[in-house]
Structure 1
Amino acid sequence: MTNEVTVPLLPCASIDDIVAFYEVLGFHTTYKQRKPNPAAGLRREDLHLQFFEIAGFDPAQSYGSCLVLTSDTGQLYRAFAAGMRAAYGKVLVSGTPRMTRPRARKNADGLSGFSVIDPGGNWIRVFQNAPASPAPAPAPTGRLGKAMANAVVQSDSRGDARQAARILDSALANPAADDDPVALVEVLVYRAEVAMVLNDPATAGEMLARVDRVVLSADEATRAAAAYEAATDLAAALAAGPGDRGVPGWGRSNR
């Protein structure tokens, strides 16, 4: 048979919170019930998710997860990010819910992936749909590139932000003369993101300030465009945080 469809059924503490969050991402409710048990179905184009409510459920203890395969992770990420900016004034990068950015995954043959961690603590893992005969992904090069790849596996895949921070801190503590400045920007920005996940805005601000001091050529700045975009989102999240004044001066041109 063909055309079978699998729909994940995921736990949450409140279907109302789930529905409100996914509506921000462009989903609409296909059904919602309170009895005999609270449940909701959501759909965004061909992406279907269903949720059931558990009284007293702790999202921090959730093991709920599913995979979403798409032809363009960047396009889907941008759509989700636009919804977050419109609803919250920022892309959610810390706490629950939050969203990681699309990055090549060393543990997924180098294919791009990002994750949405929803109010139920479920990890919706979005991956690039591999072609029938994918070419081998280039291995990360340079010590900073390798550190970045290892850190992404720890934080974005395993959810171990503390181990990612240790990997990145070790790399940043031992600069080398031949370090690629673009890779340095990418590592600093990712370290800031990891700090936000760890509820450490001071370190996040320090990392973004260091980004601003890296001097790049015009070509290097073009290569670092995605990292600078991520830094802008992180700076906005810092500025919107309770009692946080953001990162004055970040984002000025260093071309």
Structure 2
Amino acid sequence: METDPFDATMVPALPCPDVDAMRDFWVDLGLAVTYRQLRPNPYVVVRRGEFQIHYFGMDGVAPDDSYSTCIALVDDTAPVFETFAAGLRARYGRLPLTGVPRITRPRRRANAGGTAGFSVVDPAGNWVRVMRRPPAGAGGSGGGPDQEARESSTGDESARQAYAERPAGRVARALDDAVVQADSHGDAVQGRRILAGALRRAGDETDPADRVRALAYLAELAVRTDDPDAAREHLDVLAALVPTLDEAARQAVGTALDDADELRASLG
């Protein structure tokens, strides 16, 4: 069978003010340096398996103003996240959810065909978006800064199906929308507004498991928008809700409860 000449491996090259700072950051997160030079132009390559990033030194890079991004497709985001999270906790003593660098947690992305994804914002402000590779035949899986997967025509159909299969509950759907705004677009204020409004309107009619997930994420968004008091309030409401859950519901929201516990510990 004839080989497609465009069957290529593409590797991101991202700007940074200090290539050695990027080297140290990613080595702490479990990658290895495979190339480094300082002259004539600063350049470094970090890699683990087929996950690799190239950095070039550039004066004037402002992390808070960076729009650079790339996407890494993996079979399972969970072990990649856990490896990065362990490195971040060891490096900073906590999981950095705000500022630069920071990380988001793996969550379903309704704007990416329903696939799970998370992002690492590196010390230079570049967004490294880690997405679950779609199943064979599921369609496109590319991406861009404002949409993590700009599907081909087949992928568009996959995305439409993902939206159609979204949960019917108001709060669960709002959680989907909040994740798109806060984790994909980086607008935690809007994500928080969407989710808080849905919880307020739904009242006591919300499915308990959906409410737990929403409260855990809302607390995180409060932290990310510099409102630790509100985060504690959300966590207190969540803690009061937990004893009312049956065993099946507790197992279903186990990850959200773990995230909430870590967030509470970080708040002191």
Q: Give the TM-score taking structure 1 as reference length.
A: 0.88
Q: Among the aligned pairs, what percent are the same residue?
A: 41
The Cα offsets for residues 13-71 of structure 1, whole Å up to 9 and x where unpaired, read as 22222112111210111112222222211001110101112223111111110011010
Partner of 2:55: helix, strand, or coil?
strand
Give the Cα separation in 2 of the matches to 1:223 and 1:120: 37
State whether residues 93 and 234 of structure 1, in contact with CA within 8 Å, keep that contact through their aligned partners in structure 2. no
- Residue 59 of structure 2 corresponds to which residue in structure 1? 55
TM-superposed deviation, 1:85:
2.4
Give the Cα separation in 1 of the matches to 2:41 and 2:167: 48
TM-superposed deviation, 1:174:
2.2
Q: Unpaired runs of 5+ in structure 1? A: 239-245, 247-255
5 Å matches for 1:96-175? 96-134=100-138, 136-137=161-162, 138-175=165-202
- Residue 85 of structure 1 corresponds to which residue in structure 2? 89
**What letter is aligned with 1:105?**
R
Partner of 2:125: helix, strand, or coil?
coil
Structure number with higher relative contact order (C-alpha < 8 Å, ≥ 6 residues apart): 1
State whether residues 13 and 59 of structure 1, in contact with CA within 8 Å, keep that contact through their aligned partners in structure 2. no
Partner of 2:21: helix, strand, or coil?
helix
**Corresponding residue pairs, total:** 239
Instruction: Call closer, same or farther: CA 1:74–1:28 in 2, change over 3 Å.
Output: same
Give the Cα separation in 2 of the matches to 1:14 and 1:201: 32
Which segment drifts farther, 143-152 or 84-93? 84-93
**What letter is aligned with 1:227?**
A
- Residue 216 of structure 1 corresponds to which residue in structure 2? 245
- Residue 70 of structure 2 corresponds to which residue in structure 1? 66
Give the Cα separation in 2 of the matches to 1:20 and 1:200: 31
Partner of 2:203: helix, strand, or coil?
coil
Q: Unpaired runs of 5+ in structure 2? A: 139-157
Partner of 1:31: helix, strand, or coil?
strand
Give the Cα separation in 1 of the matches to 2:40 and 2:253: 52
TM-superposed deviation, 1:111:
0.8
Instruction: Call closer, same or farther: CA 1:89–1:190 in 2, change over 3 Å.
Output: same
Give the Cα separation in 1 of the matches to 2:15 and 2:262: 29
5 Å matches for 1:193-232? 193-214=220-241, 215-232=244-261
State whether residues 66 and 123 of structure 1, in contact with CA within 8 Å, keep that contact through their aligned partners in structure 2. yes
Partner of 1:21: helix, strand, or coil?
helix
Give the Cα separation in 1 of the matches to 2:54 and 2:264: 33
Give the Cα separation in 2 of the matches to 1:100 and 1:204: 16
Which segment drifts farther, 2-11 or 148-157? 2-11
Instruction: Call closer, same or farther: CA 1:236–1:44 in 2, change over 3 Å.
Output: farther
TM-superposed deviation, 1:141:
2.4
CA RMSD of aligned residues (A): 1.7
1:33 aligns with 2:37: yes
Give the Cα separation in 1 of the matches to 2:60 and 2:44: 18
Give the Cα separation in 1 of the matches to 2:19 and 2:228: 30
State whether residues 171 and 202 of structure 2, in contact with CA within 8 Å, keep that contact through their aligned partners in structure 1. no
TM-superposed deviation, 1:152:
0.5
User: Relative to total residues, which structure has the larger helix share, 1 or 2?
Assistant: 2
**What letter is aligned with 1:27?**
L
State whether residues 101 and 120 of structure 2, in contact with CA within 8 Å, keep that contact through their aligned partners in structure 1. yes
